[in-house]
Structures are given as structure tokens and as C-alpha cells.
Structure 1
Amino acid sequence: MRNILKKFAIIAAYTSIFIALLFVARKNYLLYHSIIEFFAIFTGLSISLVSFATRGFNQNRIFMKFGIVYLFVPIVDFLHTLAYKGMGVFRNWTANQPTQFWIAGRSLEVLGFFLILFFPKITERALFFLFGPLTAFLISAVWFGFFPDCFVEGSGLTVFKIAMEYLMVSVLLLVLIKCMRSRDTSISVLRRSIVSAIVFTILGELSFTLYVDVYGFFNFLGHVFRFVSYLVILNGVIVNSLKDPVQSLLLELNREREHLEEVARRDTLTNLFNRAHFNEWIQRQTKHAALCKIPLSFIMIDVDDFKKINDSFGHITGDEVLKTVARCIASSIRSSDFAARYGGDEFIVVLHDASEKQAEQIAQRIREKVAVSKELGLNVDISYGVAELEPGADHLKVLQKADEAMYRMKKAKKAPLDIQG
């Protein structure tokens, strides 16, 4: 009951604020516009302030990235406010210039969302040195008159302005989908805030395609939606960086744990999986294959005369041979297949839903790639053996069968030399 009353009180408060703003807009639109814009500017700068203030202990760098974006966007918003029709700050300007500043500011904001969501590896430094000059360029374009017209007195919005609004809405929809699907933990903590902010921004942009009068209702509504989008982002940043810094730290520790687990599963030399992970993985995979009645095929691979290579050319060359073979294996199999360094100069490949005949073709392809590789400057050959694991069969016996086939190939290569001897 208490929660219901609390929600009702919040809804009532927001509704009252909306009605009060609408009343002010009807009485004095310039006063309303100044109020809503300065609150939006203050909110945007607060996002930056909180982000920068918490950078020392906040491990989630996405906060800093939003902080940089909302450091520059309010600058353009401030000029938009001063230039608004009726303010009298820039006497020779019309309703066109503030509308141009509006498009410039929203373009920066949408670009920020796009870069943060689609290019998560972009650094704060790169964002800063991109948005700084870009903001200066857009302001200069409006100031010196080479920014495209956005509003014409007497006829309203230009085609360019409306097209830009729809373009930004399209980009925001892509960002929204990306955010909803992202598994990045740094984004997940802000997902609700980002999604809400994008939705309100889209509603704002659509509102700004409908007005004819800069003092009209849809212009009023668009400014409200934009302010709410800022407020949602600020709330998300405060909640996640101030009220719950431990959560951000735990997320970072979780990423580090996942990274260490991945490292523990890999062979440090070849970057293929190691034998320990293979032994763990094959148990689960064979059960799954038996349940789904899917055949698996094994390929055992061994580098011919590897000891002689080490003795003749040194262990560094020997390591390069192993890395070359590993690359040839990795480039010859599918993402659903599995490859590991089994030990020494031996490798194991497990092909998902593949017959022994298909495994033979893959193995031959790997051998050909190794043979034509020119990276090492010496001739390298491999021997291999293949065997198919029928659903429900013992994988150890099939593994042994592939191993025996590999040694038969190796022995067959040496047989002519033995006869000559």
C-alpha cells in the first residue's frame, strides 16, 4: 500500500509540474523557455560534474563518457537559450539561429549516444578531442551563417530541419536496439536510464517536427521531453556512481574474473584452448551430442620431426612452428568447432555435427595450409588421424582411435626411409 501511495504521489507531483509549466508557457512563453532550458543546462552540467567527481573510485568508464558528452551539449543549449526569439541578446538574429543551435545540440547528443553504445572501446580522451572541435565548428557555422537554414519566418520549419530530426530519431532507434541487446556490464547498470532517455529524446525530436510557431504547444512539449531525458540520465549516473559505487566495483571485478577464467582456459603460446579445458569441455559436449543425437569427429594432429626442429633451429623456432600450426587450425574450422593444444606438439580438434569423411577433408586442409606457410622459412609437415564419435559412444575410445590413426600416418611417412636404410 505504501509503495502504491508513493508512486501515486510521484505521478501527482510530475503532473502538477507539467501543468504549472504549461500555465507559465501560456502566460509568458519566453519565461517558460528560459526556465526549462536553464534547468536542462544545469542538469546536463550536473551529469558532467558527477561523472568527473566520481572518476577516482568509479570503475565504470561509461559514466565519464556521458560526462564528456554532456559537458559540450549544454554549451550549445545555452546559446540556443540566449538566441531564442524575443530574448533580444542577438538583435539581428531571427528564429532561425536558435533553431540551428537546437539541431547542433541534439546532433552532438545523438552522436554521443551512438559512439558510446556502438564503439564501447572509444576512450574518454578521444571523445573529448572529438567533441571539443566539433562543438566549436557547429557554433561557428551558426554564428557566421554557413549552417543550413532550419526555420523561415512565415513558412516555418525547413526541409533540412525536419530531415535532421527524422535522421536523429532513426539513429536513436538503432542505439535503443543496441542498448537493449548489449551484454556489456558497464552498459547494463545504466540500461534503464539510457533506454528511458532515448525514448524521451525521440518523443522530443518528433514533437519538434510538428510545430509552426516557436511559441507553440509542440515546441513546449519537445522542450519538456528533452529536459526529462537529461534528468533520467542524471538520475542513472547519480544512483550508479554515488549511491551504489560498490555495484560498479563488483561489475569490474566480475569482468576481471571472467577474463582470468578465459586466460586459464587458454594455452599461452598458441592461444588455443588447453588440455585441462578440453577434458572439462568434452564431458559436457559428449552428453549434449548424445542427447541431440549429433555426431562429433576428432582430429589428432602431431608436428612431424618436432624434436629435430628444436634441436636444429632452437626452441624459439619450435614455438613459432606451433603457433603457425595453431593459426592454420583456427582458420580452417567453424566457430562451433573446438581446437586445443593437447600437449607438446600435439593438437586436438573436435568438429561439431561432422562425419569422419568431413573431418578427413578438414585435416587435409590444415595440412595443406601448414605446408604452404612461408612464415618460418623451413618445411613443416603434420600427421593426423580422424575418428567419428557416434552419439552415446565412449569418447576416450574414439580419441584413442584417432591417436592411433595419426601414428600410422607418421609411421607410413618414415617407412620408405627405413626401407632405403
Structure 2
Amino acid sequence: MKKNILLGVTGGIACYKAAALTSKLVQSGYSVKVMMTRSATKFVSPLTFQALSRNEVYTDTFIENNPEVIAHIDLADWADLALIAPATANMIAKLAHGLADDMVSTTLLATTAPVWIAPAMNVHMYDHPAVKKNIHILNEFGHRFIEPGEGYLACGYVGKGRLEEPEKIVEHIHRHFSEQAQSLKGKKVLITAGPTKESIDPVRYFTNHSSGKMGYALAEEAEKMGAEVVLISGPSNLPVPTGVKFISIETAEEMYEQVLKYFPSADIVIKSAAVADYRPKQTFQQKIKKKDGNFIIEFERTNDILMELGKRKEHQYLVGFAAETEKLEEHALGKLERKNADMIIANDIMTKGAGFSADTNIVTIVQANQKPKKLPLLSKYETAKRILEEIVQNIIKEDHK
């Protein structure tokens, strides 16, 4: 399947290289759409990029040629990868501080795709403390930089600041999608998702608000990355991801049994299901009839699946989720230690965009001896990609020890 590259071109003499880059990307089989700042159009005509990409070129946030969509949101959602080449000091500053006053900056603020930045500027500009600080901020956002090369610059200086050659940028993109597609090849990934149901009687049960969206997104993305995936899910209306072995359960006890069954052969275990901590001590065989006064139900503890897996793990990489309403990092770190997990994905369910049924999430990745990594508001699929990429990087580090 073709990958979609959204190319942002900003105003510098290196714009001519962006034209060559567009051509090479198209020749390599990528779908390319180009957006330009007003300054960029002073160096290279939009018509050049239209001819090379065979797509409309976007230069103005307020030009809406298709009334069915909002152009910059449609572009942001379309991209598998957003690349700014060349990236000026001005555009880097805008992105670092969330400014959105043209087509390029507005679209990049809206995308959940990985953002890559290929700077090109005068050697002293690139070395300026403000530019360095902005680059540091964007690195913390998770944006990736393609370092400029050293050599003769258009201004006459010799030094670091030349836009990386188009061939090299294309190689980076090839490698990115190749690694993404194969990074979990040969790995067995066990994922739990959704809520559980604990019956009171034939009519009533206790459950929670989990939709299963995060777990299903993880299963789908892990399968795309080459893994052999087993998805154990509580009740959900979501379609089963293609290529995934699916096991349906209802209760916490059924989840416990199925997880223990598949755990020994798993390489990576991601427990994203919202499993009931308690169940009714007594389940009534007949419907409980309404009576005057209060009705008291006694609960008993269910098995702590993550705790049990932490005790049993040998070679497995173990990931748990923590849905919190306060003291997010503190509670996540406590859970990491108590459960002997390798990673905890924590989210504050009270934060807008991070709830159970939302299509987006805001998570913090908590690991031992590492600074917590806070991800911005992302779609659950992009969140899943980021989590899996972090897991892959940690496994690679362990393999090289």
C-alpha cells in the first residue's frame, strides 16, 4: 500500500532541492502532497510541485477548493508522514511555540502523523541559542530532525546548514517505513482489551466504561509491524483487526484463564483491558425482585492479572495500563514497581480527549530509571504506534546488552 508523504516547503534557497525531493519520492512509489509558505513560492512556483507530485499544491489556509472537507484538517489526517524540507528557523520557531498562521504551520499543528524536520539555514542561525532551544522543544514533542550537512552555503559561508540531499532523505523515509513494517516480525504479542462483565443475576451485571479502542488499535498496529498477535477481549462492538487471533471473554476470571494460557509463549504482553477488580460474591440464578429498603451486595476480589504475570515473567516484556484521576505519574510508578512490569501506560481519564470511549488519547509512558515520556493528544492508533515503537526500542537495547 502506498504511503502518504505530506511535504511542507518553507522559504529558503534550498527550495530547489525540495522539488528534486518531490520527484524522487513520487518515483519511489509514495503519494506526495505539497504545501508551501508564501515565502517558499518566491523561490519555486507551486506549479512546479504540482507537476512533480501530480497533486494540488496548498499555499493558503483560506482556499477551500473542496466544500466537503476542511483542507488543512483533511491533509493532516491524510498523511502517514509529515516532512518539512527545507525548514527555516522561522518555521521551527512557529512549531515549537504552537503558532499557526499559514497553511504549513496550521496543518502541522493538526496532524497526528510523525513530523520530520529537515533544517536549512545559515551556519550562525543554526547555532543560535534560540534555534537550539526550539529544536530541543520539538525533540521533546517527539518530532524527528534530519540533520543538515556541512559545506558551502548560498550565503557564502562554509559550515553546517545545508539541507540534506534528497537521495539521503528518501533513504531515511524508506528505512522508517521498512523498520515500522518489520520491527515486530517474529514476535508473539499478547494484548488484552475492553471491559469485563460480572453478573449479579440473569438480568444485571457490573462493568465499566472501557470501549476496547486502545487495545484494538494496539493489536492492529502490532500486526502491521509483523507480529503474531493474540487479542483477548471483553465485550466490544469493534471489528476484529485483520490477521489477529481473537479470543472473546466476559468475566475477569475468563480473562485470567486465557491470559495465563497464552502468556508462556508470548514475547510482549500488553494488558490494556479494564478488568474488574471486584465481582459479586454471590450470583443469583433468578432475577432479584425489587423490595422496599436498601439492597446490599457483597464483593470479593478478582485475580490481579498483571501482578500474576509479573511474578511469572521470564523473557516476556510486560506492559500495563493505569487509568488514573489524580497523581498520574506517582501512581503509575507505584504500579510499575508493585507489579514487576517493564512499562506502564498512564492516562488521566478526567482529561478531555483521554476518556475510555474517545477516539483520541493522552498518555504518559512510565519506565524504571527513565524520565516519564508525555505524549501529546493523538489518535488511539497513533498512540498505539508510539507505544509499540518505544517497546521495540527497549527490546533492541536489551538484546544489545
Query: Same fold per TM (> 0.5)?
Result: no
Q: Larger % of helix: which? A: 1
What TM-score, normalized by structure 1, do the two folds share? Answer: 0.28
> Which has the greater radius of gyration?
1
Q: Larger % of strand: which? A: 2
